Amino acid sequence: METSYFDLAEDVAEGFWCLGHPLDAQRQELEDPWQFSMGKPAHFKGQIKLPLDLVGEARDYAHAAFGTPVVNARLAAIFQELAPNDVELIPVEIDSHEGPYFILNALRAFPCIDPEASSEVAYWTEEDGLPEKVGTIFTISGMRIDPSKVGDAKVFRPSEWEVSLIVSKDIKDAMERAGITGAKFEAVTGPPTFDPVRRAETKKRGDLWDQARIARHAVWRGLGTMSDDSYIPPVVGGPWPGKRQVWQAMRRADGGMLIVTDGLSDPFSSILDHPTAGFGLELAIETPEPLGEVWKSWPVRLLERVAYEVAEFEKLRVSLTNGTLSMEVDGVGLPETLITPEGRVAVLIGMETDALPSRFTLPGGEVRLLTVKVLMPAELQWLLRQGRGAAAELIRRFNEAGEGHLSRSWRQPVVS
């Protein structure tokens, strides 16, 4: 009799803690935080610390940044008993919380996804401009796996979609009997849950998303060179119109890097009878600074936080229709030179520039491309003191200084 399997995920809810980027003993960010979600042993062997991005009530199961599973001793014991050969439990210290806590790292990965039985599977295409990814999964929902391809594993990751952590039914049952908090389960075995009507709707939704994505990528390729070296992993879920968060990076002709959101203008997942342009905007941050591995860089982290706020709060999007907008986001993990005494980083959204198109057209309508410029702490304080009309004066000074819309981790403020 085949074993039943479930996708184990964090049950996100208000009032609970949010764990940040894994750090080493010196509180420096680990260079490869994805190593805990690859289905193989982690290579970092030192002490790991986890900061709190959001203070709240602790739970037995949680995800830190990059989907890193974190468990307490009670849950660790369940995995140690039922799947000792499938996981490694890596001790971790969490700020302001007594342990022990562990990173739960699955040691095995299998090519096991059954695309025909899954509700929705989309793949990277040649039009996306990343030849090395063509044919691999871009997004999936209602996932089903073939249990015959995973042997006797009780914990593993699908090698085609490593962001998912799969557990067997006996582990799920043990967690539920123990009253484990913070976890939710979605079946990935058993009969498909979709019907022909829903599958048709899913195909229509996917077609609309593909039309928008291909049209956007034509715009992005006109702004710079896209390559796998600057690939930024997407995130499934969240408040974006298509319930997926995607970013793209382009190397500019002058050597700088342009990073954009690639989905705030996705068609809304709930509207299928005609194409839409989502929120009707995308965000862009450009820097002349060398970034090394782009997906680990501070501009990407900053853009992710700004984009989340814009997607989550309609009042911000309404404000952006009236011109520029200044806002602040959490400064954890961002350059110290940009962080205010309150631990925040400020940006100015919507500064116009001749270097980028201000608008472009998708099948669902017109989309605004809004620049995100990081402010130095002194510029934020000046902006708050000056009040109405200060943003326009700040923009004038940026242009006069030759900075324009570009963002840097440090520069001389344009105000005193």
**pLDDT of res. 295:** 86
Whether residue 379 has pLDDT greater than 80: yes
- Pick the closest to residue 7 from 160, 141, 187 (CA basis): 187
Q: How confident is the model at residue 133 (pLDDT cuts 50, 70, 90)?
A: confident
Instruction: Report the SS3 class of residue 329.
Output: strand
Instruction: Report the SS3 class of residue 352.
Output: coil
Q: How confident is the model at residue 203 (pLDDT cuts 50, 70, 90)?
A: confident
Share of the chain above pLDDT 90, in %: 71
Interval 327-352 mean pLDDT: 95
At 18-60, the pLDDT tens digits run: 898 899 999 998 888 889 999 999 999 889 999 988 888 899 9
- Integer CA distances (angstroms), 268 to 148, 193, 273, 279, 321, in order: 36, 22, 11, 9, 19
**pLDDT of res. 90:** 96
Q: How confident is the model at residue 129 (pLDDT cuts 50, 70, 90)?
A: low
Whether residue 340 has pLDDT greater than 60: yes
Instruction: Report the SS3 class of residue 359.
Output: strand
**pLDDT of res. 268:** 94
For residues 278 and 241, the answer to whether their CB atoms sit within 8 Å is: yes
For residues 280 and 365, the answer to whether their CB atoms sit within 8 Å is: yes
Max intra-chain CA distance, the chain: 73
Q: Among 108-117, 263-272, 288-297, 344-353, where is mean pLDDT lowest? A: 288-297
DSSP bridge pairs for 236 = 244
Strand order in the sheet with 87-94: 48-50, 87-94, 97-106, 68-72, 61-64
Which is more confidently placed, 223 or 128? 223
| Contacts for 228 with CB less than 8 Å, ≥ 6 apart | 130, 132, 133
**pLDDT of res. 140:** 86
Whether residue 1 has pLDDT greater than 70: no
Query: Per the structure block, which two tokens stand in for 277?
Result: 């342009």
**pLDDT of res. 134:** 84
Backbone angle region of 178, left / alpha / beta, with phi > 0 → left and psi within -120 to 50 → alpha: alpha
Q: How confident is the model at residue 112 (pLDDT cuts 50, 70, 90)?
A: very high
At 49-86, the pLDDT tens digits run: 999 888 888 999 999 988 899 999 999 999 999 999 99
Interval 82-100 mean pLDDT: 94
b (16+ CB within 10 A) / e for 146-180 = ebeebeebbbbbbebbbbbbbbbeebbebbeeeeb
Whether residue 103 has pLDDT greater than 70: yes
Q: Which amino acid is at 49?
A: K
- Pick the closest to residue 298 from 264, 259, 262 (CA basis): 259
Query: Per the structure block, which two tokens stand in for 375?
Result: 């402010």
Say if pTM beats, i.e. exceeds, 0.75: no
- Integer CA distances (angstroms), 270 to 144, 227, 278, 310, 368, in order: 23, 32, 11, 19, 22
Positive/negative CA dihedral, 15, 16, 22, 27: positive
Mean pLDDT of the chain: 92
